[in-house]
Amino acid sequence: MSKLTIEKKLVAKEAFIFIGKSVMTTNEAEMRGVGVIPTQWQNFYQNQLLESIPNKKNETILALYTEYQSDEKGPYTFAIGTKVTNLNEMPNGMKSFSIPEGRYMVFTTRKGPVNEVVIETWQYIWEWSKTNKRAFLTDFELYDERCADPDNAQVDIYISIL
């Protein structure tokens, strides 16, 4: 593996509302190749789900990890969608999440192929988690204009901390 140049910083985030397509999974299933995250991404883009979400705050895509039943070993909800200004309209098959304000450690990936940089940054986060306390409330990946080119993308991963 190449030398990682992952930046991290502590931030406080305001509460926000999110709408997206969600599913339950586990890290074990994802690592064994029987998970649902790749299919969720494929479905999100093929069906242009971002376009179907009303009252978007912006065009930034979020991949949410929430409703943890324990820690990184237990089931959790994974959802892809975006921040919205209100919940007046809810697209069929989607779910809303109210994310409270909180403290996050933000890990910024290096620039590179999106699948590669996100996975290696999560591996870095799992190592970091061995000596740092995660809250296991809501974590999310932020895909903005830096991800316009999937072969040279940069992603921020927000990890909720106590």
Tens of pLDDT, residue by residue over 80-115, are: 999 999 999 999 999 999 999 999 999 999 999 999
Look at residue 1 and tell me whether its pLDDT is greater than 50.
no
State residue 6's pLDDT score.
84
Give the angle 145-72-144 at the CA atoms, nearest 5°: 5
**128 with 80: CB under 8 angstroms?**
no
Q: What is the pLDDT of residues 26-78, one digit of tens each?
A: 999 998 999 999 999 999 999 999 999 999 999 999 999 999 999 999 999 99
Amino acid 71 reads D
Under a CB-based contact definition with an 8 Å cutoff, are residues 91 and 52 in contact?
A: yes
Does the domain made of 7-161 have the CATH classification 3.20.80.10?
yes
Measured CA to CA, the distance from residue 91 to residue 68 in angstroms comes to 24
Q: So what's the pLDDT on residue 4?
A: 65
Task: Let me know: does 53 contact 79? Beta carbons within 8 Å.
Answer: no
Quote the pTM value: 0.94
